[in-house]
Amino acid sequence: MSAVNFEGSTEDHLPKPTPETEPLLGRRPSTTSHRSQQSTKQLTTRHAFAILVTLQIGSGIFASPAQVDSNVPSPGAALLVWVLGGLLSWAGAASFAELGAALPLNGGMQEYLRHVYGDTAAFLMAWIYIVAVKPSSMAIQSIVIAESVGSVSSSEPLAGWLLKFIAAIAFVSMVLLNSINTKVTLRLSESFTVFKISTVGLIVIGGFVAVIAHVVNPHSSLSGSSDWYSKNWFETRPTVSDGHIINWDSISTWDRYGHYCAAIYGGLWAYDGWDNANVVASEIRDPGRSLPKAIKAAMIVVLSSFEFVNIAYYILLSWDKLSSNNAVAVSAAASLLGQPAGILVTILVAVSCAGSVTSNVFSVGRLTVAASQRHYLPAFFSKRGLPMFLSADNDESVTPRFDAPVYANILALVITLIYICTGSFRALLTFVGMAEWVFYVSTVIGLLLLRRREPQLERPYRPSIILPVTFVIVGTLVIVRSTMFAPVQSGVLAGLLVVGAMIGILRSR
């Protein structure tokens, strides 16, 4: 059987890759009927919504609140940072929705960069994302899964090598599940979305229970910490950042700026994932309507969830301990209902992170396929299914059982295992954020250039220009701050960009 290509034609009838001298986004002649193309677009608004929510509600909301809290002077300021992070992500999502609806091609940001800046920029993005950003992100999620399992199975911290082993096993399992076929991946994404929203819902409900219990009986044991009703939410108090106590009344304005940027950075990492619907834009039915709707719905759900969850954290936990607590969700549940509730939430957090790994495997697989079709990677990475099944049947009218990009998934598996074995949570987190935002900002700058360069381009969705301009300005400040305060990670990123640029120049000759 000939493998059915997810973009809309069989592999035996795939159009030849566009020569480098042709514009990337020019409409290619189709070798399949319009009916066939429509039938192979499997993603609906609901699927895109599930992927976005699954990606964003992962380890971020369960791991980064401590980083945000430790870099702001009050809980009220922390909540404002979460709102700012959500609005900035929404601005970026709206900008990407315009690009995704106007240029619905598989590959998302990679294709936009090529159209605006040329082939080398697209290659750099594909290079950084495939060998660094996505594998590092999946390594982070896998490490959080391992730490969650370790906290359930033992009262003592597990050995470092054992945590890495558990993380590796968890990641390999998720890759195997995602290598069956596309429909299995979509079902997994939707299932994990239920777990993620359930986890967030339980924490929020815990906060409401504490408030109600305090109203009914101010001395109730279910009232959570006393800080939330006895202290001013915007009153300055000392926090702990990287093991150092910050006295906010005595630090300079410049230092405050640095800490606020660090807090915003932590919030933005929690929101990260809003761009991934565009990676599969060519697979979404009616992208002009479906993509913007999916992004808007997902951002509303995620922003509201993150704000309510953080309010619940401040209700359930003592404020002087939150900034140094890397397991706030577990501690919040345990403080209200005891250790069994903490174990339950630990399991749910692990499942939520597994959902993020699932969606990341899905998106990096499609990104690798698009890069291979553009000759950025060897051609076999664009093949789908397993070799023994591709030649088993010549009936091209039947969708194969194994249609996932297996070779692309294997590449992601190998690279991610290297990061799991050699990396740490905080180092990978900083590196991922810096690398992502370089390309986020570059892409939105490209959107502004495209509006001026190609005003005739059909844009089913066009947000106010205030949104992309705001995104570019604030995003640039985040990048500058990260470069100044994380020279090692910025140096590694610069090195990868230089190597990628050299490879891109050589391959174009």
Is the CB of residue 262 less than 8 Å from the CB of residue 244? no
CA 431, CA 351: separation in Å to the nearest integer? 24
- pTM over the 0.85 mark: no
105 backbone dihedrals φ, ψ, rounded to 5°: -120, 145
Full DSSP string of 183-235: HHHHHHHHHHHHHHHHHHHHHHHHHHHHHHHHHH-TT-TTS--SHHHHS-TT-
Report the C-alpha gap between 69 and 71 in whole angstroms. 5
- pLDDT at res. 485: 72
HSE toward the beta carbon, residue 429, CA cutoff 13 A: 20
Q: Measure CA 495 to chain center.
A: 23
Contact 373, 17 (CB under 8 A): yes
Q: Which run of H or of E encompasses 239? A: strand 239-241
Q: Which two tokens stand for residue 490?
A: 């910025």
The CA distance from 379 to 383, in Å, is: 8
What is the reported pLDDT for 6? 33
Cross-strand pairs, 284: 43
The pair of three-digit structure tokens given for residue 175, joined into one six-digit string: 């890759």
Q: What residue type is 235 in one-letter code?
A: E
Q: Which residues of the chain have pLDDT under 50?
A: 1-39, 390-398
> What's the pLDDT score for residue 482?
75
The DSSP line for 40-72 is H--B-HHHHHHHHHHHHSSHHHHHSHHHHHHTS
pLDDT at residue 13, as a whole number: 37
* SS3 labels along 293-336: HHHHHHHHHHHHHHHHHHHHHHHHCCHHHHCCCCCHHHHHHHHH
Instruction: Count CB atoms within 10 A of the CB of residue 10.
Output: 18
164 membership: H or E segment, kind and range: helix 160-178
pLDDT at 268: 85
CA angle 450, 453, 457 (to 5 degrees): 65
The burial of 115, by beta-carbon neighbours within 10 Å (0-12 exposed, 13-18 middle, 19 or more buried), is given as buried
Please tell me the predicted confidence (pLDDT) of residue 330.
74
- Find where tokens 């596309």 sit: 182
Reduced to 3 states, what is the DSSP secondary structure of residue 241? strand
Contact (Cβ atoms closer than 8 angstroms) between residue 350 and residue 147: no
Q: For residue 157, what pLDDT is reported?
A: 64
CA angle 412, 417, 419 (to 5 degrees): 100
Q: Which residues pair with 244 in a beta bridge?
A: 241
